[in-house]
Structure 1
Amino acid sequence: MGFLLCGVLALFTGLPLLLFPRHLPSVEKVDVEDRPVMMTFVTSLKELPIQTRKLFSNFTWLFISLCIISEQSITTGFVVFIAKYFQVSFDLSASMANIITGSVIIPGACTGILAGSLLMRLMRKRNPTLGLAGIAKFLIILSIFPALAVILLLFLGCKKIDLAGITSDYSSGAENALNVIEVKYQKTLRSSCNANCACSQSTYMPVCGFDQKTYYSPCHAGCTQLDIYEDLSGLIVRNYSSCQCIYQDFVHSGDTAFPGKCDNSCYNLVPFLVIVFFIVFLTACGQNASLIITLRSVAPERRSFALGIQNFLSRILALIPAPIYFGRIFDSQCLLRSPGCERDGACLEYDTRRLPFVLFGTCLAIKLVSIVFLAVTYMSCRRDLDKKVPVDDNASSSPGDTTSNVSTQDSASTMTVNTVC
């Protein structure tokens, strides 16, 4: 069904191509000086090492490319695992998490790209001599706000699940920090209260005890009875009673468990989504500006080659490795895994208290590196601008030529701003 839908959409998007004329205007009518510089395959292959060396010696192109790679690393890891983060932290289903992800990221990116284009057009209209140094400064200022927004995400996490035998002891409600990761789960899930139950770990069926503690299964909670009844609305309710492992004191008195995990009281979803939309919007605003710096920092005949190398580096350094190490970082916060034949299987529970600090802390670190690359790009543009703008020390020695010299210098400066930085 998905392929059929994509095929229909591709058909509709291809219809505007039929509006083009049957024959395009001949290239022969274009002046020789205005013709684009073409590189044949043999010539480009022979000059490939030389052109590559010249390209990497262009510090403006190099550091704006490193900045783009850093931003794509964050974007790739963020988009791939944000839906999983919604499932883990806010206890959403996989379908609902993906719907929310698409509803926030796609509109944020589209509106951000459009707003960035309009903003660049407005800046060029107000300052026709806007150069690459000014665009790089704009990107630096624009990148500071998403970095500050990521810091806010660090404090919108949820508390860690109170799972008996993993994050807390069976006998009390106090957390046992030594049993979080280091010990084997097969041993910690067993206790004197369920020692005679012969509980299996093949199926994870969490139940919430009356003591507001989550247990791996009714068997691990020491429950011996299943109560099935119909409530006032006509729904069938299943509860477990006579649970020997449920902790009781003067506050918690009861031996009943209910299907499902206990509520972790995490209600930060709406402010979290607002901040994520803000981050995606501002990040997308800078795409057009970074593309302008990429194209204008190289000679016209090398622009296609510069874009090709930049895309190649983005895939090698960002699009491919980012999901791998972001997945490793996400997986490092696993508290409980399903048992396997030779090794443990998929993760069942994560440490939702530490997960945002590890995941978004990595995004923040890469974002700071991206800002550093932008700062170096700005300094490179300023350096190239100082090299291109001529300074005549004898301009003030001849009063009659003052206007001429100033006019010449302004003209050279304007030309430099429009073509280099």
Structure 2
Amino acid sequence: MHVVPLKSEHYAQVFLLASSFAYLARSMSGAYMNSMLTQIERRFNIPASLVGIINGSFEIGNLLVIAFVSYFGAKLHRPRIIALGCTVMSFGCLLISLPHFLMERYQYETTLSPLENSSSSMFLVLFTECEQKSGSLTWVFVLVGNIIRGIGETPIMPLIISYVEDFSKAENSPFYIGISSTTVIGPFLGFMLGSYCAQLYVDLGFTVTITLTDARWVGAWWLGILICGSVNLLAGMPFCFLPKSLPKEGQASDTDHNEQCHLVKLQNNVLHSFIPDFIPFLRSLFHNPVYMLFICITVMQFNAFIGMITFMPKYLEQQYGKSASQAIFLIAVYNLPIICIGYFLGGFLMKKFKITTIQAANIAFWISLIEYLIYFAAYFTVCENSPVAGLTVSYEGIEQVSYMETTLLADCNSDCDCSIKVWDPVCGENGITYVSPCLAGCKASHGTSKYTVFENCTCVAASGFSSGNVSAVLGQCDKEASCDVMLQYFLILTIVCSFVYSLGAMPGYMVLIRSLKPEEKSFGVGIHMLASRSFAGIPSPIYFGALIDSTCLKWGTLSCGGEGACRMYDIVTYRWLYLGLPAILRGVSYIPCVLILLILKKQVKSSEGKTVKSAPMAMEAIEEQND
């Protein structure tokens, strides 16, 4: 049987299709990991600052090999390097999920024994066995897996772009690259997968006494990352069968080989001259004021946005009382599509009206400033702290915020010998949440599992708000109804802010590109990316997480002692830090923005002056040529 080989245009089509799938796979796994940070925090009983380190480890993986990829990428078989990158990403995903299969079944803090009779006197103990493994370092697998995932992701985008640039015509390459980078579909699928997995209990098939909104709930975080790993592995397969290079569009087949040999020699010459040109290029960039100021803007604004995006699901959970699944779903539906529309519209308007550099800088500045002012409306879309006895209110119902565990003890529960470490909240008939049935002073219970009702609760009776009822049920009390309304306002606000900001993103990026000389563009964009990852992508989640940890009112407890993941935050302080820090960072970033506008304005005036002076000479030359 004779097999007809594919023509070069067919290989190009296969490459574009495979590239789209590879982009989808990498962005899908990235969005999924970002959506599962809260679940990872709870499963491994670690603070938010450590979760920030895990999140930033992806950027560390990128930085480890970005120089190698930049230097050797064009020399090697690019499709196979891309396939290797997808395979490495798949292996990283597998490593991230590995702790689930190594650890014991998830045991959360509870005062209920699953063997209790349907009616019994209260015998309240911390029903978790002390296992040294519960405080082990299995989260390191997630950290290392995320680093490996970052290593695998590094060659995908630059090598796809360079491969497309090599075989396509200059006027077609932006269109081809745009087709390949289907940015919105991958993150959307990743967040939707995260929303689904967050609904499933981490140990599939087991019955639990907690609900989706409980601070101890852990979704099946490992399941989605396995799916993402499989998709990444599939995405790399087509690249294994593609040639090292393709002929330029429109060239005759007889000259294909010679043209490709010339291209390889040219690349080798460029690569061999890279080292001696490195210092002059770097010096030139450092003496480019617009470029250096743009890097300052990027670092400050990326610090603000990366920190906010990393912990946005947690913010929606804590501020508005939503489950992780609901929070992830809302982010995907309300933010991702509108951002894509804004990027597209901004780029389209740039092309249609042929915007100059100074015009692009002004558009980006004013659009960003308008969005920044709208952003402050988020301070009015608020919910207050839920009433939790001993933490946000006293046992008499008076508002007070306490970071001290000793305030959990009161006269009404002094004879119960309660542990103040356990977190097993119950909702009293008075609308106040108590950290555990014991701390609520409950003496008896009836029912089983999540349907248990606690009775004779002395602290509920002593609050003065109970009109005779002294019972409590499992779980925290629901937030006030106004929180749902405030959530809708907040989501509408995020839609407006996301659209307005993304509308000015492309004009802003054009300022960066046009500030560089043609021979400096690749190097300049690489340094810009390196700076944004080193000074924003890595540190931002860490210090945002540390600040969020500082607002914790009640820490979880490891089964053998020690602090675990936070169970409840002071959401008022949380809100001020979460919204305030980005506001400060972005506010400071407008100082270099103004300086760029002044520099560009001065450059325009200078160039106009030169044009006016050279105009008579140009007219004389034209007249001579006509004669």
After TM superposition, the score normalised by the length of structure 1 is 0.80
The CA deviation at 1:10 is 5.8
Equivalent residue for 1:240, pick from 430, 454, 460: 454
- For residues 380 and 411 of structure 2, what CA distance do their matches in structure 1 show? 38
Q: Is the 8 A contact 1:210 1:253 kept in 2?
A: no
Instruction: Specify the structure having the higher radius of gyration (Cα).
Output: 1
Q: How many residues align?
A: 380
Q: What is the aligned partner in structure 1 of residue 625 from structure 2?
A: none
Cα deviation code 1:149-205 (max 9, x no counterpart): 3211112121012111122222x111235xx22x3x1x2212222122222345411
- For residues 220 and 406 of structure 1, what CA distance do their matches in structure 2 show? 91
Does residue 331 (structure 1) correspond to residue 331 (structure 2)? The answer is: no
Give the residue type in structure 2 aligned to 1:264: K
Equivalent residue for 2:578, pick from 359, 364, 370: 359
Cα deviation code 1:392-413 (max 9, x no counterpart): 9999xxxxxxxx65997xxxxx
After TM superposition, the structure 1 stretch with the greater mean CA deviation from structure 2, 286-295 or 53-62, is 286-295
Q: What is the aligned partner in structure 1 of residue 280 from structure 2?
A: 50
Q: Is the 8 A contact 2:430 2:465 kept in 1?
A: no
- For residues 38 and 296 of structure 1, what CA distance do their matches in structure 2 show? 27
Q: What is the aligned partner in structure 1 of residue 308 from structure 2?
A: 78
- For residues 276 and 375 of structure 1, what CA distance do their matches in structure 2 show? 26
The CA deviation at 1:380 is 1.4
The equivalences for 1:144-223 within 5 A come to 144-170=369-395, 172-177=396-401, 180-181=402-403, 183=404, 185=405, 187-201=406-420, 203-223=422-442
Secondary structure, counterpart of 1:254 in structure 2 = coil
Unaligned runs of 5+ in 1: 30-35, 125-129, 230-234, 396-403, 409-421
Give the residue type in structure 2 aligned to 1:62: M
Q: What is the aligned partner in structure 2 of residue 224 from structure 1?
A: 443
- For residues 355 and 311 of structure 1, what CA distance do their matches in structure 2 show? 30
The CA deviation at 1:82 is 0.3
Equivalent residue for 1:61, pick from 272, 284, 291: 291
- For residues 247 and 267 of structure 2, what CA distance do their matches in structure 1 show? 22
Give the residue type in structure 2 aligned to 1:23: P
The CA deviation at 1:242 is 0.5
Q: Is the 8 A contact 1:221 1:244 kept in 2?
A: yes
Q: What is the aligned partner in structure 2 of residue 104 from structure 1?
A: 334
The CA deviation at 1:263 is 2.2
- For residues 147 and 406 of structure 1, what CA distance do their matches in structure 2 show? 48
Q: Which has the higher contact order (CA 8 A, sep 6+)?
A: 1
Q: What is the aligned partner in structure 2 of residue 415 from structure 1?
A: none
- For residues 69 and 223 of structure 1, what CA distance do their matches in structure 2 show? 53
Q: What is the aligned partner in structure 1 of residue 117 from structure 2?
A: none
Equivalent residue for 1:2, pick from 228, 237, 260: 228
Shift of the 161–45 alpha-carbon distance from structure 1 to 2, 3 Å rule, reads same
- For residues 340 and 279 of structure 2, what CA distance do their matches in structure 1 show? 38
Shift of the 20–168 alpha-carbon distance from structure 1 to 2, 3 Å rule, reads same
Q: Is the 8 A contact 1:248 1:254 kept in 2?
A: no
Shift of the 350–87 alpha-carbon distance from structure 1 to 2, 3 Å rule, reads same
The equivalences for 1:355-394 within 5 A come to 355-390=574-609
Shift of the 334–343 alpha-carbon distance from structure 1 to 2, 3 Å rule, reads same
Does residue 115 (structure 1) correspond to residue 345 (structure 2)? The answer is: yes
The CA deviation at 1:281 is 2.2
Give the residue type in structure 1 aligned to 2:293: F
Shift of the 394–22 alpha-carbon distance from structure 1 to 2, 3 Å rule, reads closer
Shift of the 208–57 alpha-carbon distance from structure 1 to 2, 3 Å rule, reads same
Q: Is the 8 A contact 1:201 1:339 kept in 2?
A: no
Q: What is the aligned partner in structure 2 of residue 302 from structure 1?
A: 520
Q: Which is helix-richer, 1 or 2?
A: 2
Give the residue type in structure 1 aligned to 2:479: N
CA RMSD of aligned residues (A): 3.3
The CA deviation at 1:298 is 1.4
Question: Percentage identity across aligned positions?
Answer: 25
Q: Is the 8 A contact 1:295 1:303 kept in 2?
A: yes
The CA deviation at 1:250 is 7.0
Give the residue type in structure 2 aligned to 1:285: L
The CA deviation at 1:315 is 0.7
- For residues 81 and 108 of structure 1, what CA distance do their matches in structure 2 show? 20
The CA deviation at 1:74 is 2.2
After TM superposition, the structure 1 stretch with the greater mean CA deviation from structure 2, 385-394 or 353-362, is 385-394
